[in-house]
């Protein structure tokens, strides 16, 4: 870290606190259960489409509107083309949404105290104040606490469902309650993990003009490396995102990404097979972890959030790493005794369980 920023830095940069992603190790042969990637490769049809796109016109700019991809997403969710926005990973979509909707005369944005840590980073980038709404003592989203906050000036709500890193999927009734409580503000529902058993709010888009639902192809479509995310909402919401995007980068999705994402979205059979495998493995792993004395929060995501009453979480993570198994530990208030473990293949989870047995013995 620089002690003294050079005078040519914009002052705001000196104060930025960037997001720190989970480790992407350069050495292989590690069992990588720390960044919620899908353990299965992408659809073979997606790989084939990327190969074909690589030899077909890379000298040309891609479609700035990525219409082919937006059409496939719109059809899948029963929406119109102009109710869909796409971006370079859902992180970019989220960043544009924060810029487009949450700069509201200094009123604070609301999100849970324990949630995706990138939300605070975007607030820092755009100078958006925020208030956190504590999860209840079982680490569940506390909608009554949001109801109390709704009476005060605020810039809107961001909610991850399923939440990260707890794994709790919110019932649609809870999302609807938030949409009604915050009817004058945007409610952003980040559904990065919804395909692993959560209830999607896509069906509410037609009825709530203040709803934006954000999803990604990084997790359930096994395409974290391709960087494709999308958002759905009514036309005026999408138009705001388009204005921001077209003031920033006309071509956030390249030709390979558009081709691969279209093919992945069309391969429904592969999608169902792999997400079902992940969910089955999750249920088996949860039982094995409970057998070892872990407390496992109910999860609708491709990870479990666990703690062991008799062992320090950071010590377990360090011991696992020494055995070549990566999991995620957050040195944060309330959750520093928890570990987030991504669901791997049955074989990877077997390696994890064997390593944990040795460590706890």
Ligand X SMILES: *Cc1c(COP(=O)(O)O)cnc(C)c1O
DSSP secondary-structure letter at 328?
A: B
Q: Is 196 in the site for ligand X (CB under 6 A)?
A: no
Site string for ligand X, 212-251 (x = CB under 6 A): ----x-x-----x----x----------------------
Rule CB under 6 A: choose which of 111, 116, 122, 208 binds ligand X.
116
- In the bound complex, what is the minimum distance in angstroms from residue 92's beta carbon to ligand X? 7
DSSP secondary-structure letter at 99?
A: H
Q: Which is nearer to ligand X, 66 or 356 (CB)?
A: 66
Rule CB under 6 A: choose which of 65, 83, 168, 190 binds ligand X.
190
Q: Which is nearer to ligand X, 111 or 308 (CB)?
A: 111
Q: Which is nearer to ligand X, 108 or 167 (CB)?
A: 167
> Nearest-CA neighbor of 115 among 337, 334, 315, 341?
334
* Long-range own/partner contacts, residues 138-143 (CB < 8 A, 24 or more apart): 138/297, 139/114, 139/166, 139/168, 139/297, 139/305, 139/334, 139/335, 140/166, 140/168, 141/112, 141/168, 141/170, 141/174, 142/112, 143/174, 143/177, 143/178
Q: Which is nearer to ligand X, 188 or 263 (CB)?
A: 188
Q: Please give the C-alpha separations between residue 97 and each of 29, 108, 149, in angstroms, as whole numbers.
A: 38, 15, 21
Q: Is 90 in the site for ligand X (CB under 6 A)?
A: yes
Q: Is 89 in the site for ligand X (CB under 6 A)?
A: yes
Q: Which is nearer to ligand X, 107 or 232 (CB)?
A: 232
Question: CA-CA distance, 34 to 25, in Å (whole number)?
Answer: 11
Question: CA-CA distance, 237 to 196, in Å (whole number)?
Answer: 27
Site string for ligand X, 41-80 (x = CB under 6 A): ----------------------------------------
φ/ψ of 188, rounded to 5, equals -100, 120
- In the bound complex, what is the minimum distance in angstroms from residue 93's beta carbon to ligand X? 8
> Nearest-CA neighbor of 216 among 237, 181, 243, 189?
189
Q: Is 37 in the site for ligand X (CB under 6 A)?
A: no
Question: CA-CA distance, 193 to 115, in Å (whole number)?
Answer: 13
Site string for ligand X, 154-183 (x = CB under 6 A): ------x---x-------------------
3-state secondary structure (DSSP) of residue 146:
helix
For ligand X (CB under 6 A), the number of binding residues is: 13
Q: Name the residues that contact ligand X, by CB under 6 A.
A: 36, 89-91, 116, 160, 164, 190, 192, 216, 218, 224, 229
């Amino acid at each position: 870290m620089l002690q003294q920023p050079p005078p040519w830095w914009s002052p705001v940069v000196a104060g930025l606190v960037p997001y720190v992603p989970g480790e992407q190790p350069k050495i292989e042969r590690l069992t990588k259960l720390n960044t919620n990637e899908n353990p299965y490769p992408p659809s073979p049809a997606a790989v084939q489409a990327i190969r074909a796109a690589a030899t077909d016109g890379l000298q040309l700019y891609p479609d700035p509107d990525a219409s082919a991809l937006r059409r496939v997403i719109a059809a899948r969710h029963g929406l119109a083309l102009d109710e869909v926005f796409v971006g370079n990973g859902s992180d970019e979509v989220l960043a544009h949404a924060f810029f487009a909707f949450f700069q509201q005369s200094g009123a604070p944005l609301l999100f849970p105290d324990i949630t995706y840590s990138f939300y605070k980073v975007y607030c820092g980038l755009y100078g958006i104040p925020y208030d956190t709404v504590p999860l209840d003592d079982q680490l569940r989203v506390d909608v009554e606490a949001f109801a109390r906050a709704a009476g005060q000036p605020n810039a809107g709500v961001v909610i991850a469902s399923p939440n990260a890193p707890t794994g709790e999927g919110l019932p649609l009734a809870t999302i609807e309650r938030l949409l009604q409580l915050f009817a004058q503000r945007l409610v952003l529902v980040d559904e990065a993990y919804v395909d692993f058993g959560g209830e999607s709010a896509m069906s509410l888009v037609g009825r709530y003009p203040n709803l934006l639902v954000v999803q990604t192809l990084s997790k359930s479509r096994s395409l974290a490396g391709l960087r494709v995310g999308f958002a759905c909402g009514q036309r005026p919401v999408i138009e705001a995102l388009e204005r921001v995007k077209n003031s920033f980068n006309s071509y956030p999705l390249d030709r390979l990404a558009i081709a691969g994402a279209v093919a992945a979205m069309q391969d429904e059979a592969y999608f169902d097979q792999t997400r079902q495998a992940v969910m089955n493995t999750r249920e088996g792993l949860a039982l094995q972890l409970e057998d070892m004395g872990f407390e496992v929060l109910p999860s609708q995501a491709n990870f479990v959030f666990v703690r062991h009453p008799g062992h320090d979480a950071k010590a377990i993570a360090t011991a696992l790493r020494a055995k070549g198994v990566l999991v995620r530990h957050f040195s944060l208030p309330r959750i520093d005794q928890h570990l987030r473990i991504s669901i791997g293949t049955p074989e990877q989870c077997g390696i994890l369980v064997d390593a944990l047995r040795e460590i706890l013995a």
